[in-house]
A and B are shown apart, each in its own frame.
Chain A
Amino acid sequence: MASMRDIKRRIKSVNSTRQITKAMNLVASSKLNKAKQRLEGTKPYAQETRKVIAEIGAAMGGISHPLFGNEIKGNKALIIVISGDKGLCGGYNSSVCKEAQSLADGKEVKLITVGLKGREYFKRRNFTFDKSVVGISERFDYNDAAAIGARALKLFEDGEVDSVYLVYTRFISSISSTPKAIRLLPVDAEEFKGEIEETTSLTLYEPSEEEVLDYVVPKYVNTVIYGGMVESSVCELGARMAAMDAATDNAEEMLDSLNLLYNRVRQGAITQEITEIVSGSNALE
Protein backbone atom coordinates (compact mmCIF):
# COMPACT_ATOMS: atom_id res chain seq x y z
CA MET A 1 0.00 0.00 0.00
CA ALA A 2 1.23 3.49 -0.88
CA SER A 3 2.35 5.63 1.99
CA MET A 4 0.43 8.67 3.10
CA ARG A 5 3.15 11.00 1.92
CA ASP A 6 3.16 9.46 -1.56
CA ILE A 7 -0.57 9.86 -1.89
CA LYS A 8 -0.43 13.42 -0.66
CA ARG A 9 2.21 14.25 -3.25
CA ARG A 10 0.11 12.67 -5.94
CA ILE A 11 -2.94 14.69 -4.89
CA LYS A 12 -0.93 17.86 -5.06
CA SER A 13 0.32 17.16 -8.55
CA VAL A 14 -3.10 16.16 -9.91
CA ASN A 15 -4.56 19.25 -8.33
CA SER A 16 -2.09 21.58 -10.00
CA THR A 17 -2.71 19.88 -13.35
CA ARG A 18 -6.41 20.42 -12.82
CA GLN A 19 -5.84 24.10 -12.17
CA ILE A 20 -3.88 24.45 -15.38
CA THR A 21 -6.45 22.65 -17.50
CA LYS A 22 -9.22 24.66 -15.93
CA ALA A 23 -7.42 27.92 -16.67
CA MET A 24 -6.78 26.81 -20.25
CA ASN A 25 -10.43 25.97 -20.61
CA LEU A 26 -11.45 29.44 -19.47
CA VAL A 27 -8.90 31.15 -21.70
CA ALA A 28 -10.04 29.11 -24.70
CA SER A 29 -13.69 29.86 -24.09
CA SER A 30 -13.16 33.60 -23.82
CA LYS A 31 -11.01 33.56 -26.96
CA LEU A 32 -13.62 31.43 -28.66
CA ASN A 33 -16.23 34.15 -28.28
CA LYS A 34 -13.95 36.70 -29.86
CA ALA A 35 -13.05 34.35 -32.69
CA LYS A 36 -16.72 33.62 -33.32
CA GLN A 37 -17.42 37.32 -33.75
CA ARG A 38 -14.54 37.53 -36.16
CA LEU A 39 -15.98 34.63 -38.13
CA GLU A 40 -19.32 36.42 -38.38
CA GLY A 41 -17.48 39.51 -39.61
CA THR A 42 -15.88 37.68 -42.52
CA LYS A 43 -19.13 36.36 -43.91
CA PRO A 44 -20.55 39.47 -45.64
CA TYR A 45 -17.33 40.06 -47.52
CA ALA A 46 -17.14 36.48 -48.75
CA GLN A 47 -20.80 36.49 -49.78
CA GLU A 48 -20.53 39.74 -51.72
CA THR A 49 -17.42 38.56 -53.52
CA ARG A 50 -19.16 35.36 -54.58
CA LYS A 51 -22.20 37.30 -55.72
CA VAL A 52 -20.18 39.53 -58.01
CA ILE A 53 -18.53 36.53 -59.67
CA ALA A 54 -21.91 34.88 -60.09
CA GLU A 55 -23.40 38.05 -61.58
CA ILE A 56 -20.59 38.49 -64.05
CA GLY A 57 -20.94 34.84 -64.95
CA ALA A 58 -24.62 35.29 -65.61
CA ALA A 59 -24.07 38.49 -67.57
CA MET A 60 -21.38 36.96 -69.76
CA GLY A 61 -23.39 33.80 -70.27
CA GLY A 62 -20.83 31.52 -68.70
CA ILE A 63 -17.45 32.38 -67.39
CA SER A 64 -14.44 31.88 -69.57
CA HIS A 65 -11.38 32.79 -67.64
CA PRO A 66 -8.00 31.10 -67.24
CA LEU A 67 -8.67 30.53 -63.55
CA PHE A 68 -11.98 28.79 -64.21
CA GLY A 69 -12.55 25.28 -65.41
CA ASN A 70 -14.33 22.09 -64.54
CA GLU A 71 -11.61 19.66 -65.40
CA ILE A 72 -8.31 19.31 -63.68
CA LYS A 73 -5.67 18.82 -66.31
CA GLY A 74 -2.88 17.06 -64.50
CA ASN A 75 -1.88 15.33 -61.33
CA LYS A 76 0.17 18.08 -59.74
CA ALA A 77 -1.67 19.56 -56.80
CA LEU A 78 -1.00 22.23 -54.27
CA ILE A 79 -2.59 21.60 -50.91
CA ILE A 80 -2.97 24.36 -48.38
CA VAL A 81 -3.37 22.87 -44.91
CA ILE A 82 -4.54 25.00 -42.04
CA SER A 83 -3.61 23.66 -38.62
CA GLY A 84 -2.74 25.10 -35.24
CA ASP A 85 0.57 25.98 -33.63
CA LYS A 86 -0.24 24.38 -30.31
CA GLY A 87 -1.45 21.03 -29.15
CA LEU A 88 -3.71 20.23 -26.23
CA CYS A 89 -6.80 20.52 -28.34
CA GLY A 90 -8.00 16.97 -28.82
CA GLY A 91 -7.96 15.61 -32.34
CA TYR A 92 -8.09 19.01 -34.01
CA ASN A 93 -4.64 19.00 -35.60
CA SER A 94 -4.40 15.33 -36.41
CA SER A 95 -7.80 15.12 -38.06
CA VAL A 96 -7.16 18.04 -40.41
CA CYS A 97 -3.76 16.59 -41.30
CA LYS A 98 -5.26 13.17 -41.96
CA GLU A 99 -7.87 14.70 -44.23
CA ALA A 100 -5.12 16.45 -46.17
CA GLN A 101 -3.10 13.26 -46.39
CA SER A 102 -5.98 11.27 -47.80
CA LEU A 103 -6.53 14.04 -50.36
CA ALA A 104 -2.86 13.90 -51.27
CA ASP A 105 -3.09 10.21 -52.00
CA GLY A 106 -2.10 9.43 -55.58
CA LYS A 107 -1.24 13.03 -56.41
CA GLU A 108 2.03 14.77 -56.94
CA VAL A 109 1.72 17.16 -54.07
CA LYS A 110 3.25 20.41 -52.97
CA LEU A 111 2.22 21.77 -49.61
CA ILE A 112 1.63 25.10 -48.02
CA THR A 113 1.08 24.59 -44.33
CA VAL A 114 -0.20 27.07 -41.82
CA GLY A 115 0.63 26.21 -38.23
CA LEU A 116 3.42 24.31 -36.56
CA LYS A 117 1.52 21.07 -36.09
CA GLY A 118 0.76 20.66 -39.76
CA ARG A 119 4.37 21.27 -40.63
CA GLU A 120 5.60 18.67 -38.14
CA TYR A 121 3.08 16.10 -39.34
CA PHE A 122 4.02 16.38 -43.01
CA LYS A 123 7.72 16.79 -42.40
CA ARG A 124 7.74 13.42 -40.68
CA ARG A 125 6.09 11.96 -43.74
CA ASN A 126 8.56 13.56 -46.16
CA PHE A 127 6.17 15.72 -48.15
CA THR A 128 7.42 18.48 -50.43
CA PHE A 129 6.85 21.90 -48.98
CA ASP A 130 6.40 25.03 -50.97
CA LYS A 131 5.97 27.27 -48.01
CA SER A 132 5.17 26.89 -44.38
CA VAL A 133 3.79 29.60 -42.21
CA VAL A 134 4.09 29.21 -38.46
CA GLY A 135 3.35 31.29 -35.42
CA ILE A 136 0.28 33.01 -36.79
CA SER A 137 -2.53 30.62 -35.92
CA GLU A 138 -3.83 32.90 -33.22
CA ARG A 139 -3.07 36.32 -34.57
CA PHE A 140 -3.22 36.47 -38.30
CA ASP A 141 -4.84 39.01 -40.52
CA TYR A 142 -6.12 39.22 -44.04
CA ASN A 143 -2.65 40.02 -45.37
CA ASP A 144 -1.32 36.64 -44.25
CA ALA A 145 -4.08 34.94 -46.21
CA ALA A 146 -3.48 37.22 -49.19
CA ALA A 147 0.21 36.27 -49.23
CA ILE A 148 -0.69 32.57 -49.36
CA GLY A 149 -3.33 33.25 -52.00
CA ALA A 150 -0.86 35.17 -54.15
CA ARG A 151 1.64 32.32 -53.95
CA ALA A 152 -1.02 29.74 -54.85
CA LEU A 153 -2.17 31.81 -57.83
CA LYS A 154 1.37 32.20 -59.06
CA LEU A 155 2.07 28.47 -58.93
CA PHE A 156 -1.20 27.82 -60.73
CA GLU A 157 -0.66 30.43 -63.40
CA ASP A 158 2.91 29.31 -64.04
CA GLY A 159 1.60 25.79 -64.56
CA GLU A 160 3.63 24.36 -61.71
CA VAL A 161 0.49 22.89 -60.24
CA ASP A 162 -2.75 21.88 -61.95
CA SER A 163 -5.05 22.32 -59.01
CA VAL A 164 -5.11 24.00 -55.63
CA TYR A 165 -6.95 22.66 -52.60
CA LEU A 166 -7.61 24.10 -49.21
CA VAL A 167 -7.96 21.81 -46.21
CA TYR A 168 -9.37 23.47 -43.12
CA THR A 169 -11.67 22.68 -40.25
CA ARG A 170 -15.29 23.47 -40.61
CA PHE A 171 -17.16 24.88 -37.66
CA ILE A 172 -20.41 23.15 -36.74
CA SER A 173 -20.83 24.14 -33.12
CA SER A 174 -18.56 25.02 -30.22
CA ILE A 175 -18.08 21.36 -29.43
CA SER A 176 -18.26 19.90 -32.88
CA SER A 177 -16.23 20.48 -36.02
CA THR A 178 -15.11 18.48 -39.01
CA PRO A 179 -12.13 18.70 -41.37
CA LYS A 180 -13.00 19.67 -44.91
CA ALA A 181 -11.18 19.84 -48.22
CA ILE A 182 -12.30 22.23 -50.94
CA ARG A 183 -11.01 22.94 -54.40
CA LEU A 184 -9.80 26.49 -54.84
CA LEU A 185 -8.38 26.41 -58.35
CA PRO A 186 -9.41 26.01 -61.04
CA VAL A 187 -12.55 27.70 -59.81
CA ASP A 188 -15.57 25.57 -60.50
CA ALA A 189 -17.98 27.80 -62.41
CA GLU A 190 -20.87 25.44 -61.68
CA GLU A 191 -20.59 26.34 -58.03
CA PHE A 192 -21.74 29.86 -58.69
CA LYS A 193 -24.89 28.99 -60.54
CA GLY A 194 -27.99 29.63 -58.54
CA GLU A 195 -26.19 32.15 -56.32
CA ILE A 196 -27.97 35.17 -57.65
CA GLU A 197 -31.51 36.33 -57.15
CA GLU A 198 -31.67 38.88 -59.95
CA THR A 199 -29.99 38.84 -63.30
CA THR A 200 -29.12 42.41 -64.06
CA SER A 201 -27.90 42.04 -67.60
CA LEU A 202 -28.01 45.84 -67.82
CA THR A 203 -25.21 46.16 -65.32
CA LEU A 204 -22.30 48.22 -66.51
CA TYR A 205 -18.86 46.83 -65.87
CA GLU A 206 -16.04 49.28 -65.65
CA PRO A 207 -13.52 49.03 -67.21
CA SER A 208 -14.85 45.70 -68.63
CA GLU A 209 -16.26 42.38 -67.50
CA GLU A 210 -12.93 40.66 -68.00
CA GLU A 211 -10.98 43.21 -66.03
CA VAL A 212 -13.41 43.16 -63.17
CA LEU A 213 -13.18 39.39 -63.14
CA ASP A 214 -9.39 39.55 -63.25
CA TYR A 215 -9.54 41.64 -60.15
CA VAL A 216 -12.26 39.77 -58.33
CA VAL A 217 -11.15 36.16 -58.73
CA PRO A 218 -7.82 36.50 -56.87
CA LYS A 219 -9.71 38.35 -54.16
CA TYR A 220 -12.15 35.50 -54.02
CA VAL A 221 -9.32 33.00 -53.54
CA ASN A 222 -7.85 35.13 -50.76
CA THR A 223 -11.22 35.44 -49.13
CA VAL A 224 -11.75 31.70 -49.10
CA ILE A 225 -8.31 31.17 -47.56
CA TYR A 226 -8.89 33.87 -44.99
CA GLY A 227 -12.33 32.49 -44.18
CA GLY A 228 -10.80 29.03 -43.79
CA MET A 229 -8.16 30.37 -41.42
CA VAL A 230 -10.68 32.20 -39.29
CA GLU A 231 -13.03 29.24 -39.20
CA SER A 232 -10.19 26.88 -38.30
CA SER A 233 -9.08 29.11 -35.46
CA VAL A 234 -12.60 29.03 -34.06
CA CYS A 235 -12.56 25.23 -34.27
CA GLU A 236 -9.16 25.02 -32.64
CA LEU A 237 -10.37 27.01 -29.68
CA GLY A 238 -13.58 25.00 -29.50
CA ALA A 239 -11.61 21.75 -29.58
CA ARG A 240 -9.22 23.02 -26.93
CA MET A 241 -12.09 24.07 -24.74
CA ALA A 242 -13.71 20.64 -25.00
CA ALA A 243 -10.41 18.81 -24.45
CA MET A 244 -9.55 20.90 -21.41
CA ASP A 245 -13.02 20.49 -20.03
CA ALA A 246 -12.69 16.72 -20.27
CA ALA A 247 -9.21 16.88 -18.72
CA THR A 248 -10.54 18.92 -15.80
CA ASP A 249 -13.33 16.40 -15.26
CA ASN A 250 -10.87 13.53 -15.30
CA ALA A 251 -8.59 15.30 -12.86
CA GLU A 252 -11.50 15.86 -10.51
CA GLU A 253 -12.46 12.21 -10.69
CA MET A 254 -8.90 11.24 -9.91
CA LEU A 255 -8.75 13.64 -7.01
CA ASP A 256 -11.91 12.12 -5.56
CA SER A 257 -10.55 8.59 -5.60
CA LEU A 258 -7.14 9.73 -4.34
CA ASN A 259 -8.74 11.57 -1.45
CA LEU A 260 -10.73 8.47 -0.59
CA LEU A 261 -7.59 6.38 -0.67
CA TYR A 262 -5.71 8.95 1.41
CA ASN A 263 -8.38 8.95 4.12
CA ARG A 264 -8.50 5.18 4.17
CA VAL A 265 -4.74 4.96 4.62
CA ARG A 266 -4.82 7.67 7.27
CA GLN A 267 -7.55 5.84 9.19
CA GLY A 268 -5.67 2.59 8.87
CA ALA A 269 -2.60 4.22 10.36
CA ILE A 270 -4.57 5.66 13.29
CA THR A 271 -6.25 2.34 13.99
CA GLN A 272 -2.92 0.63 13.95
CA GLU A 273 -1.44 3.18 16.35
CA ILE A 274 -4.33 2.78 18.78
CA THR A 275 -4.00 -0.99 18.67
CA GLU A 276 -0.30 -0.64 19.42
CA ILE A 277 -0.86 1.71 22.36
CA VAL A 278 -3.64 -0.44 23.79
CA SER A 279 -1.65 -3.64 23.48
CA GLY A 280 1.39 -1.88 24.95
CA SER A 281 -0.50 -0.69 28.02
CA ASN A 282 -2.09 -4.14 28.38
CA ALA A 283 1.33 -5.68 28.49
CA LEU A 284 2.38 -3.29 31.28
CA GLU A 285 -0.49 -4.34 33.57
Chain B
Amino acid sequence: MANKLKLRVVTPAKDFFNGECDMAVLKTIDGDTGILYGHQPLTTVLDLGYLRIIDNNNEKRSTMLGGFAKVNSEGLTIISEAAEWADEIDVQRALESKKRAEQRLEQGGKDNDEVDVLRAEASLKRALLRLGLAEK
Protein backbone atom coordinates (compact mmCIF):
# COMPACT_ATOMS: atom_id res chain seq x y z
CA MET B 1 0.00 0.00 0.00
CA ALA B 2 1.25 3.37 -0.98
CA ASN B 3 1.98 5.96 1.60
CA LYS B 4 -0.61 8.61 2.17
CA LEU B 5 -0.05 12.32 2.21
CA LYS B 6 -0.94 13.98 5.46
CA LEU B 7 -2.97 17.08 4.74
CA ARG B 8 -3.99 19.82 7.06
CA VAL B 9 -5.90 22.93 6.06
CA VAL B 10 -6.25 25.78 8.51
CA THR B 11 -8.17 29.01 8.10
CA PRO B 12 -8.47 31.92 10.54
CA ALA B 13 -11.86 30.62 11.59
CA LYS B 14 -11.11 26.95 12.15
CA ASP B 15 -9.21 23.78 11.34
CA PHE B 16 -10.77 23.13 7.96
CA PHE B 17 -9.40 19.71 7.10
CA ASN B 18 -7.12 17.33 8.91
CA GLY B 19 -6.56 13.91 7.41
CA GLU B 20 -4.85 11.81 4.78
CA CYS B 21 -5.17 11.57 1.04
CA ASP B 22 -3.41 10.21 -2.06
CA MET B 23 -2.88 13.55 -3.71
CA ALA B 24 -3.73 17.18 -3.23
CA VAL B 25 -3.89 19.57 -6.15
CA LEU B 26 -3.37 23.23 -5.36
CA LYS B 27 -3.73 26.33 -7.43
CA THR B 28 -0.52 28.23 -6.78
CA ILE B 29 0.26 31.59 -8.34
CA ASP B 30 2.36 29.70 -10.89
CA GLY B 31 -0.43 27.27 -11.78
CA ASP B 32 -1.88 23.98 -10.62
CA THR B 33 0.49 21.87 -8.54
CA GLY B 34 -0.14 18.31 -7.45
CA ILE B 35 1.43 17.21 -4.18
CA LEU B 36 2.07 13.53 -3.46
CA TYR B 37 3.50 11.77 -0.44
CA GLY B 38 7.19 12.55 0.06
CA HIS B 39 7.21 15.82 -1.86
CA GLN B 40 10.27 17.99 -1.47
CA PRO B 41 9.96 20.65 1.22
CA LEU B 42 8.22 23.59 -0.37
CA THR B 43 6.56 26.81 0.61
CA THR B 44 4.42 28.49 -1.99
CA VAL B 45 1.78 31.17 -2.35
CA LEU B 46 -1.70 30.18 -3.46
CA ASP B 47 -3.98 31.93 -5.88
CA LEU B 48 -7.76 32.00 -5.76
CA GLY B 49 -8.81 28.58 -6.93
CA TYR B 50 -9.93 25.13 -5.96
CA LEU B 51 -8.28 22.63 -3.72
CA ARG B 52 -8.74 19.07 -4.97
CA ILE B 53 -8.20 16.27 -2.53
CA ILE B 54 -7.91 12.91 -4.24
CA ASP B 55 -8.22 9.79 -2.15
CA ASN B 56 -8.98 6.26 -3.42
CA ASN B 57 -10.04 7.72 -6.76
CA ASN B 58 -12.56 9.93 -5.03
CA GLU B 59 -12.20 13.62 -5.50
CA LYS B 60 -13.25 16.20 -2.97
CA ARG B 61 -13.24 19.82 -3.94
CA SER B 62 -13.26 22.98 -1.93
CA THR B 63 -12.68 26.61 -2.70
CA MET B 64 -9.42 28.08 -1.55
CA LEU B 65 -9.39 31.85 -1.48
CA GLY B 66 -5.69 32.56 -1.39
CA GLY B 67 -3.22 31.67 1.29
CA PHE B 68 -0.06 29.65 1.24
CA ALA B 69 0.97 26.03 1.37
CA LYS B 70 3.87 24.38 3.09
CA VAL B 71 5.27 20.92 2.57
CA ASN B 72 7.65 19.42 5.08
CA SER B 73 8.41 16.03 6.54
CA GLU B 74 5.11 16.10 8.39
CA GLY B 75 3.05 16.51 5.25
CA LEU B 76 1.22 19.32 3.55
CA THR B 77 -0.13 22.26 5.50
CA ILE B 78 -2.32 24.79 3.76
CA ILE B 79 -2.92 28.10 5.44
CA SER B 80 -5.77 29.79 3.70
CA GLU B 81 -7.76 32.96 4.19
CA ALA B 82 -11.02 31.17 3.59
CA ALA B 83 -12.10 27.78 2.36
CA GLU B 84 -15.42 26.04 1.98
CA TRP B 85 -16.85 22.76 0.71
CA ALA B 86 -19.46 22.75 -2.03
CA ASP B 87 -22.33 22.23 0.41
CA GLU B 88 -21.24 25.14 2.58
CA ILE B 89 -21.53 27.66 -0.20
CA ASP B 90 -24.32 30.17 0.03
CA VAL B 91 -25.34 30.33 -3.64
CA GLN B 92 -27.74 33.19 -3.10
CA ARG B 93 -25.07 35.31 -1.46
CA ALA B 94 -22.53 34.48 -4.14
CA LEU B 95 -24.99 35.46 -6.88
CA GLU B 96 -25.70 38.74 -5.13
CA SER B 97 -22.05 39.59 -4.70
CA LYS B 98 -21.42 38.68 -8.33
CA LYS B 99 -24.12 41.10 -9.40
CA ARG B 100 -22.79 43.80 -7.09
CA ALA B 101 -19.27 43.35 -8.33
CA GLU B 102 -20.35 43.50 -11.97
CA GLN B 103 -22.29 46.68 -11.37
CA ARG B 104 -19.34 48.22 -9.62
CA LEU B 105 -17.04 47.27 -12.46
CA GLU B 106 -19.30 49.01 -14.94
CA GLN B 107 -19.41 52.17 -12.85
CA GLY B 108 -15.77 51.94 -11.87
CA GLY B 109 -14.82 51.98 -15.53
CA LYS B 110 -16.14 55.53 -15.71
CA ASP B 111 -14.79 56.86 -12.43
CA ASN B 112 -11.41 55.18 -12.89
CA ASP B 113 -10.98 54.48 -9.20
CA GLU B 114 -8.26 51.89 -9.32
CA VAL B 115 -8.71 50.45 -5.85
CA ASP B 116 -12.45 50.00 -6.27
CA VAL B 117 -11.99 48.26 -9.58
CA LEU B 118 -9.42 45.90 -8.09
CA ARG B 119 -11.66 45.16 -5.16
CA ALA B 120 -14.67 44.52 -7.37
CA GLU B 121 -12.59 42.26 -9.60
CA ALA B 122 -11.42 40.25 -6.60
CA SER B 123 -14.94 39.98 -5.28
CA LEU B 124 -16.22 38.89 -8.71
CA LYS B 125 -13.51 36.24 -8.90
CA ARG B 126 -14.46 34.88 -5.50
CA ALA B 127 -18.14 34.79 -6.38
CA LEU B 128 -17.50 32.99 -9.68
CA LEU B 129 -15.27 30.50 -7.89
CA ARG B 130 -17.97 29.72 -5.36
CA LEU B 131 -20.68 29.41 -7.97
CA GLY B 132 -18.47 27.18 -10.08
CA LEU B 133 -18.02 24.77 -7.22
CA ALA B 134 -21.62 24.86 -6.07
CA GLU B 135 -22.88 23.98 -9.53
CA LYS B 136 -20.86 20.81 -9.79
Residues on B with beta carbons closer than 8 Å to the beta carbon of A42: 12-13
B12's partner among A142, A198, A206 (CB-CB below 8 A) is A142
Contact (A206, B42) CB under 8 Å given A48-B70, A142-B12: yes
Whole-angstrom distance between the Cβ of A232 and the nearest chain B Cβ = 15
Question: Would you call B44 and A205 a contact (CB within 8 A)?
Answer: yes
Task: Give which listed residue, B15, B43, B82, contacts A41 with CB less than 8 A.
Answer: B15
Q: Is B40 at the interface (CB under 8 A from chain A)?
A: yes
Interface hit among A62-70, A87-95, A184-192, A208-216: A208-216
B:1-46 near A, CB below 8 Å? 10-15, 28-30, 40-45
Q: What total of chain A residues lie within 8 Å of the partner, measured CB to CB?
A: 29
Identify A203's interface contact among B12, B30, B41, CB under 8 A: B41
Which chain A residues border B68 with CB–CB below 8 Å?
52, 212, 215-216, 219
Q: Is the CB of B30 within 8 A of A226?
A: no
Measured in the bound complex, the distance between the Cα atoms of B81 and A226 in whole Å is 12
A51 to chain B, nearest CB (A): 8
Instruction: Tell me if B79 counts as interface (CB < 8 A to partner A).
Output: yes
**Chain B, Cβ-Cβ closest to A214:** B45
Contact B13 A52 (CB under 8 A): no
B8 to A: closest C-beta gap in Å: 8
Docked CA distance A216–B41 (Å):
17
List chain A residues, Cβ under 8 A from B10.
44-45, 48
Task: Give me 11 other A-B pairs in contact (C-beta within 8 A), A48-B79, A52-B43 excluded.
Answer: A41-B12, A44-B15, A45-B10, A142-B82, A203-B42, A204-B40, A205-B44, A206-B44, A207-B30, A211-B45, A212-B43
Which positions in B face A, CB cutoff 8 Å?
Answer: 10-15, 28-30, 40-45, 67-68, 70, 72-73, 77, 79, 81-82
